[in-house]
Structure 1
Amino acid sequence: GGIAMADSGALSFADSAVSNSIAADSGGGARFESSTSIATLVRSNVSENRATSASAFYYSGSASTPGAVRDSQFVSNVAGDGITITAVSQLSWFPCQLGEWMPTRGVFEGDVAGCNACPERYYGNATNLETARCSGTCPLGHFCELGSALPVPCPNGTRMPLFGASSADDCLDCPRGQYQSESGQPSCTTCPAGTHSADTGSSECEVCKSGGYCQVEDGSMVRQACPAGSYNPETKSTSIGSCLLCPAGTSGSDIEATTNATCVPCRAGSFASGEGKQACQFCPQGYHQSEAGATSCVRCAAGKFCPEGSSREMDAQCAAGTYANVTNDDGIPDCFDCPAGSSCGGGAAP
């Protein structure tokens, strides 16, 4: 090979190039074997060497003191088994910076041009780490990209409930009705009573507006609109009980109403018998109502005719011995013979 040393003292390369050497066994570029000494390579290039194994470097040095490789590279070397470096003894790589790692023993395949970046999902907050786990798995609330020296906190408005996130895309938005005001958190918090968050990814909650109320559903604070027939002028409401019902005799067709001005009195010919009506009902056939805002209708007097929705009584227009209780499309009532056993003076009913 290029350089072979066995128990003959320390080996040191500095600003050197070892190339185009061939070894029949191992250590095409250099082979170092010593039980008492070490090898040191500094700013050196070991390239285009050949061997059956360990085409660039075979190292077996002192068991008490590690060898050292600093700012050096091993490229374009060819071995029958694909192994570029064999380190039987400890071989330290400098400088392995934060976010990097390199094993100190074993075999190295392919080009070796420096320390490895800590893989995704792990971080390295110390120098000269020796395993691919670096300093450990990325913690909750954080993500660790390739070569991370420190875990990166997920931003406000997000969460990360799992270990080992690898990018900012793994951070999960807080769902609607929850928020997170701090970074690097594993979970989000339900908005306080009387508030809500309308969008995902919220870092704060907003006051529940008038016209509705906010209550917890499946762990999230959700705003609901007051239904038609009701209104709510207040903010920070926490239940549907905050929606005030339109009074009897009125109706409200708007949802999310904020004022009782949306509660409109029933017009003549209609009524609302109770509170919270979305629409007024027409007076049924045989009844009428001449007043607005009524809660009931008045029965049509004998001898009068009142079709559905009547605001007043009308003359029946039927002769004695007959009666009227319905109307045709033209508005003129039909007249019927008085039933046996009844007396009909031309009124609206026998």
Structure 2
Amino acid sequence: MGHFCPQGSRSPKPCPVGSFLPEPGAFSPSHCHDCPPGKYCFSPALSQPTGLCFAGFFCSGGADSPTPRANSSLFSCLHEILDVYATKTEAAFWIQNASCFNNSDDFESDLGWTEGVMLLQADSDHIVTHTPPCLKKPHYACSTYRGDICPRGFYCPIGSAYPQPCDAGSFCNQTGLDTTSGSCAEEYYCPKGSVDPHATLCPTGHYCPFGTPLPLPCPPGTIKSFLGGSTIKSCQLCPPGHYCHQSGRAEPSGQCAEGYYCPEGQSSERPQQHVCSAGHYCEKVSHPVLVLKLLSVITAESCM
């Protein structure tokens, strides 16, 4: 095991680093298996992998170190490998595009996004003897790609085969992480793969509490016309004379219907509790400012 013997051999020949061979009787170096994703094979002549890839790094297959590093010419390889895998599995997550795999600490260029892939996690109790077809290298230039330090926007627990996109609601602002850096800041939301706690300012019609993965809509009967906001108190009651029948509104849905009046906070055009009472008439309001002066009552006038 861990060796092969070509015809006429005087002694067994070891499988090279980055590979292993659990069966006896091999006669060709092609019988040596690449170290499986998530693991590394440190020395020659191994019958099984040495161990799991270290936290903060990922080992994509054939790794000979628990902390592999790719040179700059191979930064695009992970993108291509994940593209192939995503096509095979029909599973997708967000990953940064090839440009983001420049892992230098001062890398500050804008980060693009592209469809990525559900990530594999190495099984520490099971040895994979063959690289799955979906993980085959897409072209020769990437044949030496073995993994790298975890890039920004991702984290890599121990035994990672590929970097995992930062969880929605969290951010990953540096390389080499084995867990997320922290939660998204108030008044902002953080989609999967975010590198900044202030990833995206909360939009109108919504509020964003600490650590939210998505903006939360203001409820019916309220609006929010400004950006930011961290609690439901950021949502304002629908103005008098108007109704707001949908959640997540930045502006009122429309004016109160004739025959009804709408104090602030209404969600219906015809609120049944505000039917124009006997001895009064209620017409549509054309000047909301006038409504405010009339103490939130829509032109409800006494008939003489």
Q: TM-score range by the shorter chain?
A: 0.5 to 0.7
Does the alignment pair 1:211 with 2:153? yes
Aligned 1:1-350 pairs, distance under 5 A: 140-188=1-49, 189-198=51-60, 200-204=61-65, 205=68, 206-216=148-158, 223-239=163-179, 242-253=180-191, 255-261=192-198, 263-272=199-208, 274-295=209-230, 296=232, 297-308=235-246, 309-312=248-251, 316-319=255-258, 321-323=260-262, 325=266, 333=269, 338=274, 345-346=297-298
Aligned AA for 1:257?
Answer: S
Figure out how many residues of one structure are paired with residues of the other and give that number.
195
Gaps of 5+ in 2: 69-147, 283-296, 300-304
- The alpha-carbon deviation at position 215 of structure 1 amounts to 1.4
Higher helix share: 2
Q: Are the equivalent residues in 1 in contact too, given 2:260–2:270 (CA < 8 A)?
A: no
1:236 is paired with a residue whose SS is coil
Residue 80 of structure 1 is matched in structure 2 by: none
Q: Could you tell me the percent identity over the aligned residues?
A: 26
Tell me how far 1:175 sits from its aligned partner. 0.7
Cα-to-partner distance string for 1:285-318 (whole Å, 9 max, x where unaligned): 2101132101221222554433433335688444
Deviations for 1:134-193, whole angstroms, at most 9, x for unmatched residues?
Answer: xxxxxx211112211111110121001233222212211101111223222222221223
For residues 177 and 202 of structure 1, what CA distance do their matches in structure 2 show?
A: 9
- 1:202 Cα deviation from its structure 2 partner: 1.7
Asked whether the 8 Å contact 1:318–1:346 carries over to 2, the reply is no
Instruction: Give the Cα–Cα distance (whole angstroms) in 1 for the partners of residues 256 and 270 of structure 2.
Output: 9
Ranges in structure 1 where 5+ consecutive residues have no aligned partner: 1-139, 328-332
- Distance of 1:163 and 1:341 partners within structure 2: 95
* Residue number in structure 2 paired with 1:134: none
- Maintained 8 Å contact 1:160/1:186: yes
Q: Secondary structure at the match of 2:30?
A: helix
- Tell me the distance in 2 between the aligned counterparts of 1:341 and 1:244: 56
Distance 1:317 1:225, change over 3 A: closer
Compute the displacement of 1:228 (Å).
3.0
Given that residues 175 and 201 in structure 1 are in contact (C-alpha distance below 8 angstroms), is that contact kept between their aligned partners in structure 2?
yes
Query: 2: CA distance between counterparts of 1:259 and 1:323?
Result: 43
Aligned CA distance change for structure 1 residues 275 and 252 (closer, same or farther; 3 Å): same
Q: What is the alpha-carbon distance in structure 2 between the residues aligned to residue 340 and residue 315 of structure 1?
A: 18
1 CA distance for matches of 2:262 and 2:193?
Answer: 48
> How much has 1:264 moved relative to structure 2?
1.2
Q: Secondary structure at the match of 2:155?
A: strand
Given the two structures, how large is their TM-score scaled by the length of structure 1? 0.48
Question: Contact conserved, 1:216 with 1:222, CA < 8 A, in 2?
Answer: no
Higher Rg of the two aligned structures: 1
Q: Amino acid of the residue matched to residue 150 of structure 2? A: C
Indicate the SS of the match to 1:169.
helix
Deviations 1:106-135 (A, max 9, x none): xxxxxxxxxxxxxxxxxxxxxxxxxxxxxx
More strand by share: 1
More deviation in 277-286 or 310-319? Answer: 310-319
C-alpha distance in 2 between matches for 1:268 and 1:209: 32
Equivalence for 1:12 = none
Q: Is the 8 A contact 2:185 2:197 kept in 1?
A: no
Q: How many Å separate the matches in 1 of 2:256 and 2:184?
A: 40
Question: Aligned with 1:215: secondary structure?
Answer: coil
Q: In the TM superposition, what is the alpha-carbon distance from 1:194 to its structure 2 partner?
A: 2.0
Return the alpha-carbon distance in structure 2 between the equivalents of residues 304 and 265 of structure 1: 28
Q: What residue identity is the alignment partner of 1:224? A: Q
Q: Distance between the aligned counterparts of 2:221 and 2:174, measured in 1?
A: 43
Q: Which 4+ runs in 1 deviate beyond 3 A?
A: 301-304, 312-327, 333-347
Cα shift at 1:211: 1.5
